[in-house]
Chain A
Amino acid sequence: MADSTLPIQGALDITPPAARKHSILEIAHSWITTVDHKKLGILYTVFGIFWLLVGGAEAIAIRIQLAMPNNHFLSPQTYNQFFTMHGTTMVFLVGMTIIFGFANYLVPLMIGARDMAFPRLNAFSFWVTAFGGTLLYYSFLGGSGLYGVGSAPDVGWFAYAPLTARAFSPGHATDYWAISLIVSGIGTVGTAINIVATTVSMRCKGMTLMRMPLFVWLFFVVSALTLITITPLTAAQIMLTIDRYLGGHFFDTQAGGSAVAWMHFFWIFGHPEVYVLILPAFAIANEIIPVFSRKAIFGYPAMAAASVGIAFVSLGVWAHHMFTVGMTSVSNAFFTLSTMLVGIPTGIKIFNWLATMWGGKIRFATPMLFLTAFLFQFLIAGLTGIMLSVSPWDWQLHNSYFVIAHFHYVLVGALVFAIFGGLYYWFPKATGKMLSEKIGKWHFWLFIIGFHLTFDTMHVPGILGMPRSIYTYEPDRGWGPWNLVVSIGGIIQGIATLVFAYNMIVSLRKGEEAGPDPWDAWTLEWTTSSPPPDYNFAIDPVVGSRRPLWDLKHPEDPDWKYEA
């Protein structure tokens, strides 16, 4: 492939049809009926950011309640609903939605395709997911049900049996929880199938598997993992619904059902789900870190292999959520080992990112700031993960605030930081406008200060014996001052998120024009105009290496010479 030519100039020259003013209705209609992967990607992302604000508001209410011992800001029932809804919202409506938004928008562009493999399935998936989320929140209005008990679900996002059985959760709140997740799960499966099919069949000429951007690799893995793990979750939800409506006894312990079976079903979904949420953060890191260090990614084949490795191992670690349910010592040892093993491919990734930055010329624009914080925080999250894999230690730390701190380090410190970095990076592509760097720096610094105040501190009450999911605590326990700091940090993070929302609105209206390639990047999406035309590429691109734009910009030293 010596002549790695890229017929991209044509794409940039497209002059859009003469602009005509569209009425609001026309615009709304075009968004609602769209099957374009880019519009759907934006819909997913906007929807996810909306739920992020909702879930964040719930988190702040939770934290106000816990700021002091014996506080009465929320009633116990409301508190339990809020932490259940917070967890469910953040995992299913924020995490899953925003990452699929990124995948939808970027995967076809990055592989030089004009759309996803199944555009109409794509639209269907989005609307089903959106409907599932709405259904979940509808429970706040309509959940009182026959027995007049409760409204929003209050059984924890893990919804352990038999607390979810009719006997202990009368009313319809738990039904809303189960059914809304079944519904949004259908959308998730649709998207995952679509991404797998798209990566397999829609790559442009020259884009072999080993030339795909690592971003695409990771979403390929994420989608495969989603397909494997949504099944047990949906099965469990259906069994639960059968128990609740048809008098089944799967998880009804009063009739001999098994509470432990629920945990297995839930965590065999739930643990890989954590990787479904973190691998996209890696995907974003794989694009941003090289571009802002001005270096090719170090060890591409190892990076791809490590992603697949993580996915495989993650399927064999679920019972580390169950070290306290009384497994045999051999099982405990097995799941300790399998969990520790995840550290190896993860370590490879961290080292390769560092090697990518090594010897580079690192530009700390806002996207890179977020990704640098991601690297550092992900290191810490990984190390506390190793601590929790040590099952005797986990007997102490499990279900304590230490665990809450650990997984927020993963979900916020790594995933949310990467998402913010990704939004700063690709917002110009999607809208044609740069996000303000000045407001961006405010956003970053506020967010990182708030994050560390909250989640560094939160490890300590866990060590001091504070369990999770409690709406209040006794004043003599010595947890008060810690919790106050945690809550202050939470509020600062809330403010930072509002700063970001403000940045999006202001920049959309009067941001700097982005141009096709504002970051001097290397993957195919940057060859199109910003925003790209409906069909992405007027002429199908042809690539000869992993960084087609690098080759184009550096014909004297093209990549394909070095690629293994």
Chain B
Amino acid sequence: MLRLWKLRKGVVAALLLLFGTALALAEGPQATPSIYAPASTPAAQIQSLSYFVLEITGAIFLVVGGLMAFVCFRYRAGKNDDKSEPAQIYGSTQVELAWTVIPVLIVVVLFLTTARMIFAIQDAPKPKEAVDVTVVGHQFWWEYRYPQLGIVTANELHIPLSSKTDPKPTYFKLLSADVDHSYWVPQLSGKTDLIPNHPNELWMDPLYPGLYKGQCAQFCGAEHALMLLRVYVDTPEQFQAWVANQQKPGVQDPTVAAGRQVFETQACMNCHAVAGTAATGRYGPDLTHLASRDTLASGVIENNPKNLRQWIKDPDSIKPGALMPAMKLSDEQLDQLTAYLATLK
């Protein structure tokens, strides 16, 4: 069985290599979020089901495709054909019955296998130790809430590592604030849509730590393409530390009071929240621990002071169609704001 599995893996690897995406089958997080590098039970189950289906369809392809090639070569009219008509055959009940019954049997096998997997993944019982996360899709960013932990954050999801012996799966509740979106981290699970008025569920139990990438998979408007997704799978210690930090209110650093004032007097606070301040806006991402995130604008640019400044000055230049307006601020205000936001660790 193991050998067979390695063989399948080898075939897929060879096919991918042929076209130059060699890494796609390694274990753990990949820059290329291949569905053939699963790192979580649902994704791995889908992979094994897909191998089974590929074998059956591959066999059909070889038999029928081979037959087609044979017929085309064997029965093509030669150059000096005598123009007589070949024998006319109008049908044959036995043969036709055979090629109806065989596909029926194949369908039965395929269906039963698939149905088992549907129930295994979709109706898997939720263990007590599961972590709950509520994801809210927005044009064009992600909001994450941890109801058990009292955390609200955006765009970069942190979840704990799971393992077969010490399972700690994450269970998602998927909501949408505006239009349809779809949550897809190919290495961790299949996608599920976020639909307004229609809560959905999804689970994953990541088996290797690191950063997993994905992106919105349902066309959601102008910036659908840059609605990127980053999932950090933390070891238990990392996760504890991260949670502890996120639960603290926003840092109050007197040296950047000017920037904070800009934030609270300009329109920023209408849309953004910083815990522990007057800013409680919910339209845009929560900024309480903005500086602890690696990226801005749902993964589009690195989080550094220069990019941050450019983003506030003109979001459209980074993410055309983004729904944050360009704030008409002076250079001085921009500097103060950037300094303030950089303290929100």
Contacts and interface: CB of A to CB of B under 8 A. Distances in A.
Contacts of B67: 354
B117 A259 contact: no
A259 B180 contact: yes
B249 interface: no
Nearest to A352: B96
A562 interface: yes
Given A372-B72, A464-B32, A395 B46 contact: yes
Contacts of B104: 344
A163 B53 contact: no
Interface in A515-564: 554, 557, 559, 562-564
A227 B138 CA distance: 38
Interface in A457-478: 457, 460, 463-465, 467-474, 476-478
Nearest to B91: A299
A392 B118 contact: yes
A344 B103 contact: yes
A154 B20 CA distance: 34
B250 interface: no
B71 interface: yes
Given A357-B75, A359-B87, A470-B225, A387 B50 contact: yes
B264 interface: no
B71 A354 contact: yes
Contact of B197 (A80, A258, A481): A258
Interface in A165-207: 168
Interface centre among A294, A301, A481, A557 (most CB of B within 10 A): A294
Given A253-B197, A340-B107, A355-B95, A395 B189 contact: yes
Contacts of B76: 361-364
A324 B57 contact: no
A467 B183 CA distance: 11
B179 A80 contact: no
B246 interface: no
B223 A76 contact: yes
A325 B91 contact: no
Given A375-B68, A379-B64, A396 B186 contact: yes
Interface string A63-86: 000000000000111001000000
Interface residues of B, number: 94
A564 B36 CA distance: 51
Contacts of A393: 46, 49-50, 53, 190
A259 B195 contact: yes
Contacts of B42: 392
B114 A380 contact: no
B184 A357 contact: no
B119 A329 contact: yes
Contacts of A140: none
B242 interface: no
Contacts of A390: 49-50, 53, 110, 114
A485 B42 CA distance: 32
B141 to A, nearest CB: 16
B88 to A, nearest CB: 5
Contacts of B179: 160, 162-163, 168, 259
Nearest to B214: A465
A324 B65 contact: no
Contacts of A347: 99-100, 103
B225 A387 contact: no
Interface stretch (A32-40, A128-136, A215-223, A330-338): A330-338
Interface centre among A161, A253, A387, A472 (most CB of B within 10 A): A253
Contact of A357 (B33, B72, B216): B72
Given A362-B72, A399-B218, A256 B197 contact: yes
B320 interface: yes
Contact of A463 (B35, B49, B95, B217): B35
A300 interface: yes
Nearest to A327: B122
A21 to B, nearest CB: 41
Given A259-B196, A392-B45, A467-B184, A481 B19 contact: yes
Interface string A490-519: 000000000000000000000000000000
B223 A333 contact: no
Interface string B141-184: 00000000000000000000000000000000010001110101
A463 B119 contact: no
Contacts of A351: 64, 96, 99
Interface in A299-331: 299-302, 324-326, 328-329
A328 B186 CA distance: 21
Nearest to B43: A396
Nearest to B216: A467
Nearest to B184: A467
A8 to B, nearest CB: 20
A138 interface: no
B305 interface: no
Interface string A368-392: 0000100110011001001100111
Interface string B13-48: 000100111011000000111111000001101100
A233 B68 CA distance: 38
A265 interface: no
Contact of B182 (A324, A343, A348, A376): A324
A13 to B, nearest CB: 26
B215 interface: yes
B57 to A, nearest CB: 4
15 contacts: A76-B321, A161-B180, A293-B75, A295-B86, A324-B191, A344-B104, A351-B96, A354-B71, A357-B72, A361-B76, A361-B77, A361-B85, A390-B110, A397-B35, A465-B184
Given A361-B76, A364-B76, A482-B19, 10 more contacts: A76-B320, A162-B196, A296-B90, A301-B91, A340-B111, A358-B71, A395-B191, A395-B192, A474-B228, A481-B19
Which A-B residue pairs are the 5 nearest by beta carbons? A395-B190, A465-B33, A470-B225, A478-B32, A326-B200
